[in-house]
Structure 1
């Protein structure tokens, strides 16, 4: 009997062990599969991309005129408001005209005297010619009378020139604006003595509408640009290249300009050349001497890919890399060739195909070869932030209640 009880106990223990093993196997079979990591992706498509260059520039007046007196004298009055807008021909200063008025009157009197002498010489010459025909006067006397007439006519011409000179000097006592624009402060006040063509300008007028911006461009950028055009990577956008400005405050200037000309020589010291752009300036917001940033549209890069900057990282070699989700859901890491930044994107030359999905969020949590779940999103071009329907549905305030 004791032997039978021992055998029964052994059988019971074996059955319990078998049941426990079966339970463990059933628990393992019922365990759920591990969840795949979710990443956000952007689908890439080729597009024409406007290539721009942001360059330093300085504002310069379209026209500049330094106003100087052309005759000497005492300034009688100033007839403009400093800092105001003037038109071409507006009266700015008046120099005491009395001496020049007297000189003009004297020149007019001298002209009248010369004209009277010329009339007398003409009549005398005519009489001598008549007497010569009747052999009542000698040839010598006739020649002398003719020469006297020519001299009198020359005196009349000289007198007329003197009158014109005196008139011009009299007109110069009224100093007018040679161009239209904004007039600076006056360097002299009424009562000051001025001389003709003096070194110190009375004032300066600058034309501010339109206004110029001189942009500094490097010769290296010029060569790269021409090479890109020659290789077909860049197409010219047209004859009138558009230019935009960014002010020191970071704001965009509301008016667009156009390129007027580029210098034909390179500065041997700096290796740069100047490109001049012209801008409308109706509100006089741009003033000469201001520093600005000019955004120049160089051309169009056709069939190009833009990758969000948040999707691109650098490997230990300094190469640009990005992670893509393949059709089977596996992650692939790829080395890219980036040309330049465009806003919040990188312009990529090689390593991307149409329809590929690049990871823009969650890439640091996955490794190449790993299978992931891709959530397609879009990127705000202005801010670089992600946008998707799923994100809006999960935002606070949009959570569904059971």
Structure 2
């Protein structure tokens, strides 16, 4: 500090005060403000429990029975006898083909039968006449044998004529085309006036049985082998094939209300895809499931004895990868990549990446970073969990669901907003 000369006593006092204020402004010895406390998050402790082993697979709906109705005789289509898109019983007339040609053939066959029967009657009379005369040597044995041979030939001609009549009657019956099975009949593939050909088996329409229906899925052979290995090791309690339940998710994301069961597992592997076929049966009283429809199946393939399940709001999905925020024993947050199974209620089954006893953040993970210290509180009693189909605020939409998670439910696993 420099004190200018020639100042009076009051001036020197002001200069001294100013210098003291300047020294105090330099911060020498001043206290820093306290650091903010670690953010508060809600976390749960993962418990090992028996959880369903859910496998989610894409599939299609197929009719249990499907019949192509084709022409079995030649002729012109005279009339369509059914209403397209309706349910029909087996044997219901569907089309009528011009029967006049077949009627004429039947009449001709019947005339040939009458002629053969008349010839046989005459041959039998000759044999009956020769039989008493042969003992009296009035007729030679050769003549009698010839009469018997003629009678046998007449019998054969009658049988042949009767077969021709049956064939003509069958051809005439083909002019009325009937439903081979009960089910829903599709649209007509021909119109009145079209030529139906038996040689080319002209397709007329299709009948499909829609109650019940099949849901057909494909799964890789390696995944099914892993499933069998887990069952043999005791890690997975796997029921019999008919005891495996299947739920369906429709194309619009809604769940089909009826539960089905597996009834077939193919024992051959497709050499082009390396996959095997699984098939389930579903009741379809409302005809909501239609052949060819795309669906996703949630197959409950047994129960994992020491499985792990976390709330859906704790899972973050991004770039086909699922992660959760784990709190260490020292309160430090770490991001953990996990492999998801299926959804059970409002939670995800975790196949790998988590162990019982670890703490997973369910609320407040948006405001923390890996490596940061946090304060943990238990979930509040009566807190409403995030529901499927209602992603919470602040969750990032999934770029792609991991294996086992369906595309329609990827965004449903977005974490709940921090309350």
What range describes the TM-score normalised by the shorter chain of this pair?
A: 0.7 to 0.9
Q: Between 109-118 and 156-165, report the one with greater CA deviation.
A: 109-118
- The 1:362/1:279 distance shift into structure 2, 3 A limit, reads closer
1:307 aligned to 2:305? no
Q: Within 2, Cα distance between the matches of 1:276 and 1:369?
A: 49
- The 1:77/1:360 distance shift into structure 2, 3 A limit, reads closer
1:268 aligned to 2:280? no
- The 1:321/1:93 distance shift into structure 2, 3 A limit, reads closer
Equivalent runs, 1:286-325 vs 2, <5 Å: 286-308=289-311, 311=314, 323-324=326-327
Once the two structures are TM-superposed, the CA of residue 60 in structure 1 deviates from its matched residue by 2.0
Match of 1:340 in 2: 340
Contact persistence 1:331–1:367 (CA under 8 A): no
Q: Within 2, Cα distance between the matches of 1:144 and 1:97?
A: 43
Contact persistence 2:56–2:298 (CA under 8 A): yes
Contact persistence 2:313–2:362 (CA under 8 A): yes
Once the two structures are TM-superposed, the CA of residue 358 in structure 1 deviates from its matched residue by 4.3
* DSSP-derived class of the 1:89 partner: coil
Match of 1:374 in 2: 377
Match of 2:256 in 1: 253
Once the two structures are TM-superposed, the CA of residue 216 in structure 1 deviates from its matched residue by 1.6
1:40-74 residue CA offsets vs partner (Å, 9 max, x unmatched)? 23244332211111111122222222222211122
Q: Within 1, Cα distance between the matches of 2:337 and 2:276?
A: 29
1:341-361 residue CA offsets vs partner (Å, 9 max, x unmatched)? 44343526586446x754433
Match of 1:84 in 2: 86
Higher Cα Rg: structure 1 or 2?
1
Once the two structures are TM-superposed, the CA of residue 146 in structure 1 deviates from its matched residue by 0.7
- The 1:104/1:141 distance shift into structure 2, 3 A limit, reads same
Once the two structures are TM-superposed, the CA of residue 222 in structure 1 deviates from its matched residue by 0.9
1:254-280 residue CA offsets vs partner (Å, 9 max, x unmatched)? 222222212222122221122222222
Q: Within 1, Cα distance between the matches of 2:351 and 2:198?
A: 65
Contact persistence 2:338–2:354 (CA under 8 A): no
Match of 1:213 in 2: 215
Name which of 271, 283, 304 aligns with 2:286.
283
Once the two structures are TM-superposed, the CA of residue 287 in structure 1 deviates from its matched residue by 1.9
The number of equivalent residue pairs is 349
- The 1:89/1:301 distance shift into structure 2, 3 A limit, reads same
Match of 2:397 in 1: none
Ranges in structure 2 where 5+ consecutive residues have no aligned partner: 1-35, 394-418
- The 1:64/1:359 distance shift into structure 2, 3 A limit, reads closer
Once the two structures are TM-superposed, the CA of residue 157 in structure 1 deviates from its matched residue by 0.6
Contact persistence 1:56–1:292 (CA under 8 A): yes
* DSSP-derived class of the 2:237 partner: coil
* DSSP-derived class of the 2:230 partner: helix
Q: Within 2, Cα distance between the matches of 1:341 and 1:127?
A: 93
Match of 2:205 in 1: 203
Equivalent runs, 1:1-400 vs 2, <5 Å: 38-240=40-242, 241-308=244-311, 311=314, 323-324=326-327, 331=331, 338-343=338-343, 344-347=347-350, 352-353=355-356, 358-362=360-364, 372=375, 374-377=377-380, 379-380=385-386, 382=388
Contact persistence 1:311–1:323 (CA under 8 A): no
Contact persistence 1:211–1:281 (CA under 8 A): yes
Match of 1:13 in 2: none
RMSD in angstroms over aligned alpha carbons?
3.3
Match of 1:17 in 2: none
- The 1:38/1:74 distance shift into structure 2, 3 A limit, reads closer
Q: Between 132-141 and 178-187, report the one with greater CA deviation.
A: 178-187
Ranges in structure 1 where 5+ consecutive residues have no aligned partner: 1-33, 387-394, 396-402
Q: Within 2, Cα distance between the matches of 1:77 and 1:281?
A: 32
Q: Within 2, Cα distance between the matches of 1:67 and 1:274?
A: 28
Once the two structures are TM-superposed, the CA of residue 177 in structure 1 deviates from its matched residue by 0.9
Q: Within 1, Cα distance between the matches of 2:293 and 2:370?
A: 51
Once the two structures are TM-superposed, the CA of residue 93 in structure 1 deviates from its matched residue by 1.2
* DSSP-derived class of the 1:278 partner: strand
